[in-house]
Structure 1
Amino acid sequence: MFSPDQENISTSPASTKGPVKYGELIVLGCNGSLPSGDKGRRKSRFALSRRAKANGVKPSMVHTSCTPQAAKAISNKEQHSISYTLSRAQTVVVEYTHDSSTDMFQIGRSTENPIDFVVTDTLPGGQGHADGQTVQSTISRFACRIICQRNPPYSARIYAAGFDSSKNIFLGEKAAKWRTQDGQMDGLTTNGVLVMHLRHGFTQDSRPGLWREISVCGNVFTLRETRSAQQRGKMVDAESQQLVDGSLIDLCGATLLWRTAEGLARTPTVKHLEALRQELNAGRPQCPVGFNTLAFPSLRRKEVPDDRQPWAYLRCGHVHGYHAWGGRYGGEAEGRERECPMCRTRGPYVPLWLGCEAGFYVDAAPPTHAFVPCGHVCSEKTAAFWSQIPLPHGTHTFHAACPFCVQQLAGDSGFVRLIFQSPLD
């Protein structure tokens, strides 16, 4: 018997276990889950899968003045529309109509129903906010929308701004907006939606691309002078708003990594990371001073060091157990300058934590390197990759950061090779 949803389930070999997965969005700075735990639509990663019924929309009619039809389009809760306020006297309203070939997913800070993925500000050190009210957020309530093609090759395109509960997007008088050459309207949101596509995809050979701004209609622009400047950048015709594996999306307060379903299939799993952790512990690394055996805690247990926790001097990379002596400048506080007893190099001394978010890894090699100064451990190529990616910080600066906690990287390269002492027996 044919069911109405049968046509919505792919029968391709890659996805025989249910609906087609377009890809996943992973929040940088969340090492496997939100600090307060993943709940409902608020979590550290979000899978975009083909919906049982298409909910995509596409532009249809343009009303260039406040006609009764324009007013009706705005007030009709079943009709998607974008309003561009040019002056008190003039508003251009663009009606959107249903598109049966696409699915729409919306991302933002709002917890209202139209938002599929609720994203709050991420603070360095992995201390995200349990709720969005803790500080004044710079993430828009309806930040952006991603439109996915329901049929192969399932391309995903990003647009600034999302439709609210009344299915409207309003660009006020102060928002940057303009009329395009073909008579359509376009605009930018207050703090903007930035996108960076990597060169050579999300691989060991990846190189950073240039950060661009995406408009409400999905056009690509160079960055404004500051995040909320009223003057838009230059249009970049040669580049697309289509997301590729490894595209980074910045919402001014949180950065998301887009991984395609194919890209994720080539990425190590949490199970693989757990096997690498057990292999590392099976080698029984020792503290070269106390001779006690060290062990990385399970991937679920995070942020509270235990007795066997490995610590490292981040300037030289020598791995030890915790010891309270050797603090030359300012005592025993974690992260302060300490002198390594093995080589006398002074530098930060911190506990080591395994990077648990598998989606951030560019390969499946063993965890041999640590980011400086946070001490998150991953493979060498993953550390090298993230150390060269400039992530937006504030409204006009960029710096490389650890993907697991978004702490700004320090030192010559931003990471260090770890030197483990093997057991003497």
Structure 2
Amino acid sequence: MFSSERENSSKPVKYGELIVLGCNGSLPGGDRGRRRSRFSLFERPSANGVKPSTTHTCSPQAAKVISKNSQHSVSYTLSWSEAVVVEYTDDNETDMFQIGRSTENPIDIVVTETAGGRHGNSPMRPLQSTVSRFACRIVCDRTPPYTARVYAAGFDCSRNIFLGEKAAKWRTFDGQMDGLTTNGVLLMQPARGSKPAVWREISVCGNVFTLRDTTSPQDRGKQVKDESPVLLDGSLIDLCGVTLLWRSVEGLSRSPTAGHLEALRLRLNAARPQCPVLLSTLAFPSLDGPRPRRPWVYLTCGHVHGYHPWQGRGIAYKQQRREAGRDRGERGGETERSTEEEAEAVRGERECPLCRSRGPYVPLTLGRVSDVYVDAESPSHAFVPCGHVCSERTAEHWSKTPLKRGTNIFHPACPFCLGQLKRDRPYVRLIFQGPLD
């Protein structure tokens, strides 16, 4: 479907790629069929795009009859007695790709929720999905410069998009209809010069709006007329439970490849970083390799170790303070300082044996999705608190990029696991101990 070649060409035109954030390279159980962690969109053998054609104003019953024909259509229910059906006709100049949770044939790209804050490749599906079955569609021009645009909602098995009476919908100034989906399709364009990156909502017709007030979801935001749904290299699409990154062909040509990241991993291991406590050589494992020498880091200071039993004023210190507390209790009570220190120990903080700073102690995991890197420099920094490793500029970029969490809350998050980053220090520079010989 995506890699199908044109009838008279050995190499199809590539429009770009979509990357699912939070998977670190692969979905649990592997990438299979239409359910993948990344998708390459190629020109189809034959155009399948559609464009608005005839508009009918009728009763909801008549709207159902019209929408059951072989043409694509969008149905807007205005009241119990009035509906508007916009029929779509074939567009030989565009290709359409549909995205959603449904596994039915109209959906080209099947996506499900990715839950932030978990280590490794562990997206977790909630009990009730928030991703729409037919969430959105991407329409690409078949002629240069192969512009790609995103639109809210996708056509179902009956080739219909249905907006019920409670959905946000309205008549435009020229008498046409438009609307928003229940869960919303959000778009963030990359920052350009002095213009910051902000989240917008995209309508069924591809118009751009400010975000809705969550207390009145049936009201649309303010239309932003000088912005468009055209996807740029680095655009983010949020489907209320999954976030997609769009990379253009030109942008991909400037990005590191998976082979380059593997070469950087081997270079890190060739430097033979040492654990200062056990004096053993550390190594970042390959994707399927063993992990006994995996590096760990103290997130407060950035000192890299192997996993070791040194606790500092951790578990052992906690026991010492308890015993000391019982002695002081017999003499009249504990001090406020001892209570705070024991609380820190209970939270799992450990003391770095090199600098005595205290904080979380976590394993390091290389970020393996080359498309989220903004440069090809060596992995030198780790996100806090998840421990995913990437280049400094990449860490800085994502620490300033708010991703959606929940209904309408946005926080910077690790692109490899979607774990929320610490606000005061979202990433830390790694400090490796060289070999003693």
3-state SS of paired residue (2:307): coil
Work out which of the residue numbers 26, 34, 58 in structure 2 matches 1:33: 26
The count of aligned residue pairs is: 403
Q: What residue identity is the alignment partner of 1:366?
A: S
Answer yes or no: is the 8 Å Cα contact 1:387–1:413 preserved in 2.
Answer: no
Structure 1 equivalent of residue 90 of structure 2: 98
Within 2, Cα distance between the matches of 1:258 and 1:101?
21
Within 2, Cα distance between the matches of 1:284 and 1:81?
62
Work out which of the residue numbers 207, 211, 218 in structure 1 matches 2:206: 218
Answer yes or no: is the 8 Å Cα contact 2:115–2:418 preserved in 1.
Answer: yes
Structure 2 equivalent of residue 181 of structure 1: 173
Answer yes or no: is the 8 Å Cα contact 1:73–1:80 preserved in 2.
Answer: no
Q: What residue identity is the alignment partner of 2:152?
A: A
User: Residues 332-347 of structure 1: matches in 2 within 5 Å?
Assistant: 336-347=348-359
User: Residues 43-82 of structure 1: matches in 2 within 5 Å?
Assistant: 43-66=36-59, 70-76=63-69, 78-82=70-74
Structure 1 position 247 matched with structure 2 position 247:
no
Structure 1 equivalent of residue 222 of structure 2: 234
Within 2, Cα distance between the matches of 1:162 and 1:273?
36
Within 1, Cα distance between the matches of 2:395 and 2:419?
13
Structure 1 position 399 matched with structure 2 position 411:
yes
Work out which of the residue numbers 112, 117, 123 in structure 1 matches 2:109: 117
Task: Name the CA shift for 1:339/1:8 in 2 (closer, same or farther; >3 Å).
Answer: farther
Answer yes or no: is the 8 Å Cα contact 1:191–1:252 preserved in 2.
Answer: yes
> Any idea what the Cα deviations from partners look like across 1:156-211, whole Å, max 9, x if unmatched?
000000000110000001100000000000000001000000124xxxx8985110
Larger helix share, 1 or 2: 2
Task: Name the CA shift for 1:390/1:178 in 2 (closer, same or farther; >3 Å).
Answer: same
Within 2, Cα distance between the matches of 1:101 and 1:268?
32
TM-score for the superposition, normalised by structure 1: 0.91
User: What displacement does 1:8 show?
Assistant: 6.2
Within 1, Cα distance between the matches of 2:295 and 2:308?
11
3-state SS of paired residue (2:58): coil
| Higher alpha-carbon Rg | 2
Q: What residue identity is the alignment partner of 2:163?
A: L
Within 2, Cα distance between the matches of 1:266 and 1:390?
24
> Any idea what the Cα deviations from partners look like across 1:27-81, whole Å, max 9, x if unmatched?
11010111221111001001111000000000000001139985543111x2100
Within 2, Cα distance between the matches of 1:266 and 1:8?
29
Deviates more, 1:60-69 or 1:323-332: 323-332
User: What displacement does 1:228 show?
Assistant: 7.3
Structure 2 equivalent of residue 13 of structure 1: none
Task: Name the CA shift for 1:275/1:227 in 2 (closer, same or farther; >3 Å).
Answer: farther
User: Residues 94-173 of structure 1: matches in 2 within 5 Å?
Assistant: 94-124=86-116, 125=118, 126-129=121-124, 134-173=126-165
Work out which of the residue numbers 260, 264, 267 in structure 2 matches 1:272: 260
Answer yes or no: is the 8 Å Cα contact 1:274–1:299 preserved in 2.
Answer: no
Structure 2 equivalent of residue 319 of structure 1: 304
User: What displacement does 1:347 show?
Assistant: 0.7
Within 1, Cα distance between the matches of 2:96 and 2:38?
17
Structure 1 unmatched runs, 5+: 10-16
> Any idea what the Cα deviations from partners look like across 1:354-412, whole Å, max 9, x if unmatched?
00011110000000000000000000000000000011110111000000000000152
Answer yes or no: is the 8 Å Cα contact 1:197–1:246 preserved in 2.
Answer: yes
Answer yes or no: is the 8 Å Cα contact 1:106–1:145 preserved in 2.
Answer: yes
> Any idea what the Cα deviations from partners look like across 1:313-350, whole Å, max 9, x if unmatched?
01100000101231645579999311000000001100
Q: In angstroms, what is the RMSD of aligned CA positions?
A: 2.2
Task: Name the CA shift for 1:183/1:383 in 2 (closer, same or farther; >3 Å).
Answer: same
User: What displacement does 1:261 show?
Assistant: 1.1
Structure 2 equivalent of residue 12 of structure 1: none
TM-score for the superposition, normalised by structure 2: 0.88
Deviates more, 1:319-328 or 1:54-63: 319-328
3-state SS of paired residue (1:64): strand
Within 2, Cα distance between the matches of 1:182 and 1:306?
63
User: Residues 299-310 of structure 1: matches in 2 within 5 Å?
Assistant: 299-301=287-289, 306-310=291-295
User: What displacement does 1:18 show?
Assistant: 1.4
Answer yes or no: is the 8 Å Cα contact 2:99–2:136 preserved in 1.
Answer: yes
Divergent runs of 4+, >2 A: 5-9, 66-73, 205-208, 327-336
Q: Percent identity?
A: 67
3-state SS of paired residue (2:371): helix
Structure 1 equivalent of residue 333 of structure 2: none
Answer yes or no: is the 8 Å Cα contact 2:131–2:242 preserved in 1.
Answer: yes
User: What displacement does 1:225 show?
Assistant: 1.2
User: Residues 189-204 of structure 1: matches in 2 within 5 Å?
Assistant: 189-200=181-192
User: What displacement does 1:6 show?
Assistant: 5.7
